[in-house]
Amino acid sequence: MDKALVDHINRFINLSFEEEEILAGLLKTTTYKKKAFLHEAGDICRSNYFVVKGCLRLYFIDIKGAEQTTQFAIENWWISDLTSFLMQKPSEFYIQAAEATDVIVLEHRHYDELFEKLPKLEKYFRLIFQKLHQASQIRIKYLYSQTAEERYVNFNKLFPEFVQRVPQYMLASYLGFTPEFLSKIRAKK
Amino acid sequence: MDKALVDHINRFINLSFEEEEILAGLLKTTTYKKKAFLHEAGDICRSNYFVVKGCLRLYFIDIKGAEQTTQFAIENWWISDLTSFLMQKPSEFYIQAAEATDVIVLEHRHYDELFEKLPKLEKYFRLIFQKLHQASQIRIKYLYSQTAEERYVNFNKLFPEFVQRVPQYMLASYLGFTPEFLSKIRAKK
């Protein structure tokens, strides 16, 4: 298994060599080409994904047929449709590689087992979900409070490298406007 | 300390009598009148709140001066401005009692201590934050995908009792529209 996840975990807790071995036995590593689907709407989301290298996005198709990106995950972030993953019911989301992406895959069938065999990981995932909830609170506030242009300017300020990385139509849908509108804002700068 | 939190925790893990005693020593119980503030924007959010009875809301004031409610917490839910709470930096949110509310208060100065003394609680809070992140994913999807009227109809279907409980202007701001618009939708039914 790629060292990236173990390194990330060991920032927060300390796994012994034996624990690292047990962990490796419960996970697998895969690579997806740019634009490949890890999961599609209608299917049950079987896995939670840790990004080693690259970028994934979570999106759904709205009633007008437009893609709405609700989340990105780059290096050291986890991503999944959590409701579908936890309850093993069909999902309304897609998970797609926004770039060629290396992931570590935690399948649902190993999820409970992971915590039984490695109770130390409760702390790690408490901190991960705490961070994800924190990010969601900030995100929801932005969705309520800012105009599309403010969202873009703010996002650019906070994550300049990320803005360069992802296809513009994905970024536009994440920020809640059309690609045409994004071109217009960029032209103004 | 009120039994409600221990009962809630014991749904997920098992605390011994000694552990319950340690927990009680790290928490306090308070009651807030309807409309009282637990926390105000500009201040550092010092606590994470567990609702024993009643209802709290998290909101901010947008650039137009309107209150935007981004989260509610009823019985057995935790609520805080997590970024302000974790990083101990000034908050942009208010936490207010939407009803007379009994809460259990976990102060930041006891937060790390809680996990050091009661490592079992890592699992409990992993599950709490997992649930909160799950709720946020659903909420963000709604904010993108539905018209104001659809949001109201859907919310009413999912949480009919809750709709009866909270003041209508708070509900309107949570669903992202004006109280006048809410009156109009209700009149149509």
Contacts of B176 in chain A (CB under 8 A): 144
pLDDT band at A63 (very low <50, low <70, confident <90, very high): confident
- Predicted local distance difference test score (pLDDT) of residue A142: 85
Please answer whether residues A151 and B150 qualify as being in contact, where contact means their C-beta atoms are separated by less than 8 angstroms: no
- Predicted local distance difference test score (pLDDT) of residue A117: 97
Between CA A93 and CA A19 the distance in angstroms is 33
To test the contact with chain B by mutation, choose from A128, A136, A177 the residue with the greatest count of B C-beta atoms within 10 A, namely A136
Comparing CB atoms, the residue among B71, B132, B143 nearest residue A143 is: B143
Question: Over its length of 189 residues, how does chain B's per-residue pLDDT go in tens digits?
Answer: 779 999 999 999 999 999 999 999 999 999 999 999 999 999 999 999 999 999 999 999 988 888 999 999 999 999 999 999 999 999 999 999 999 999 999 999 999 999 999 999 999 999 999 999 999 998 888 888 777 788 888 888 888 888 888 888 888 888 888 888 888 888 876
Tell me the Cα Rg of chain B: 18
Kindly give, in sequence order, each residue whose CB lies less than 8 Å from that of residue A137, ignoring residues fewer than 6 positions away.
B58, B70, B71, B81, B82, B83, B136
Enclosing H/E stretch for A161? helix A160-165
Complex prediction ipTM: 0.93
Between CA A9 and CA A158 the distance in angstroms is 25
- Predicted local distance difference test score (pLDDT) of residue A126: 98
Task: Look up residue B53 and give its amino acid.
Answer: K
Between CA A182 and CA A172 the distance in angstroms is 6
Between CA B77 and CA B172 the distance in angstroms is 21
Contact between A136 and B141 using a beta-carbon 8 Å cutoff: no
- Predicted local distance difference test score (pLDDT) of residue B14: 95
Strand A56-61 with A67-73, pairing: antiparallel
Comparing CB atoms, the residue among B83, B119, B143 nearest residue A134 is: B83
Name which of B126, B137, B140 is nearest B78 in CA terms: B126
Tens of pLDDT along A17-44?
A: 999 999 999 999 999 999 999 999 999 9
Tell me the Cα Rg of chain A: 18
A187 at B interface, C-beta within 8 A? no
pLDDT score of A172 more than 90: no
| Highest mean pLDDT out of A40-54, A64-78, A160-174 | A40-54
B82 at A interface, C-beta within 8 A? yes
Q: What is the 8-class DSSP label of residue A90?
A: B
Please answer whether residues A126 and A78 qualify as being in contact, where contact means their C-beta atoms are separated by less than 8 angstroms: no
- Predicted local distance difference test score (pLDDT) of residue A40: 98
Closest-CA distance, A26 to chain B, in angstroms, reads 19
Neighbour order of strands in the sheet with B37-39: B37-39, B94-97, B56-61, B67-73
- Predicted local distance difference test score (pLDDT) of residue A175: 85
Contacts of B115 in chain A (CB under 8 A): 123
Kindly give, in sequence order, each residue whose CB lies less than 8 Å from that of residue B138, ignoring residues fewer than 6 positions away.
A83
Strands (E), chain B: 27-32, 37-39, 47-53, 56-61, 67-73, 78-79, 94-97, 101-107
Mean pLDDT of all residues in chain A?
92
The more confidently predicted of residues A43 and A143 is: A43
Name which of B98, B108, B89, B78 is nearest B5 in CA terms: B78
pLDDT score of A146 more than 80: no
Q: What is the 8-class DSSP label of residue B118?
A: -
